[in-house]
Chains A and B, each alone.
Chain A
């Protein structure tokens, strides 16, 4: 399980988390399934729809947003791979609340934003039995190129 991300997209996701700080920012990940591997091609930033005051530790993308993301993916011939969101002043690890609300098969890319600066990003997928998240390796584009050149 791995998620390949062009470095500029990873930087965009990190910048989105920083811009949303101290609130949580979120959006959708679009790309292609390539067997066990996923390749990120496009991100769709979304507005955090949680009520005022709760956005510091919660994000919500309403069903209409998911529908729009699905339609966008379909029209571009891409797969909806998952969701990215930020954890202000918390590690890039999924919370119990993340697990309760997680959809199977989605990649959950979490960026820790410490004091307004993006600190680290990790990606997770929910297990089939919904009991835990398994981490999927993030491969930034520079690493992908290096891997290819070694072949």
Chain B
């Protein structure tokens, strides 16, 4: 029989035992034995969908099973299996409604294309100014359309996320849009519309692929310790990608 060692914070759910004998010849089998003997441990070791919780680490003779064969790692009678959690936590993320962000992106795309088709640089300038105003007020420039008229039809998508990178992305987009307007005003038509189309492309990348290039730049600057860029990307999320729900 192998020995299964239980860490102190879980012992109250195992009748105070620091260890128990298991007969199974795999790690997953030993865990099943443990939970069968002490069902109260189940929610602390496994998620509702039956997966091992992220903080649970399993060691067979001091070797993490992640470096072996995971839950299928074999257990010999002389082996000891140790449950050793990682301790983690941190400050909360904000709630960011991505439906408002998507509305903003859709309006930036639609109005910028309209400006190009109608050959109306003034409209590109107005879009840029609206984005500057939104950045200063810390809201999506066209988020008011969502808040006042689209909320009934558009399902909110509130995710745990950082608002600052999205603000930075909008501010960056505003700078490019206004630079495009300035070039158009200076009769540099090709370069001006190229910048407007860059904004359209980046907003579309965000709207349709869920990738915020400006946010990625923000998180890079955070990693480089640039002052003012204090937020890191949500856990398990590639910098710039939309965080997963839940």
Contact = CB atoms under 8 A, between A and B. Distances in A.
B210 to A, nearest CB: 21
A52 interface: yes
A60 B91 contact: no
A60 B86 contact: yes
A101 B222 contact: no
Contacts of A73: 8
Interface stretch (B125-133, B134-142, B230-238): B230-238
B59 interface: yes
B84 A104 contact: no
B9 interface: yes
Contacts of A94: 89
B71 interface: no
A105 interface: yes
B86 A58 contact: no
A129 B85 contact: no
Interface string A41-69: 00000000010111011111111111100
A120 to B, nearest CB: 14
Interface string B1-45: 000000111111100000000000000000000000000100110
A-B pairs with the 7 shortest C-beta distances? A95-B92, A58-B90, A63-B84, A98-B89, A61-B87, A103-B9, A90-B91
28 contacts: A24-B90, A26-B89, A56-B231, A57-B90, A57-B91, A58-B89, A58-B90, A58-B91, A59-B89, A60-B86, A61-B88, A62-B86, A63-B85, A63-B86, A64-B84, A66-B86, A80-B8, A95-B92, A97-B89, A97-B90, A97-B92, A97-B235, A101-B86, A103-B44, A103-B85, A104-B9, A105-B11, A128-B40
Interface of A: 22, 24, 26, 50, 52-54, 56-67, 70, 73, 79-80, 83, 85, 87-90, 94-98, 100-106, 108, 128-130
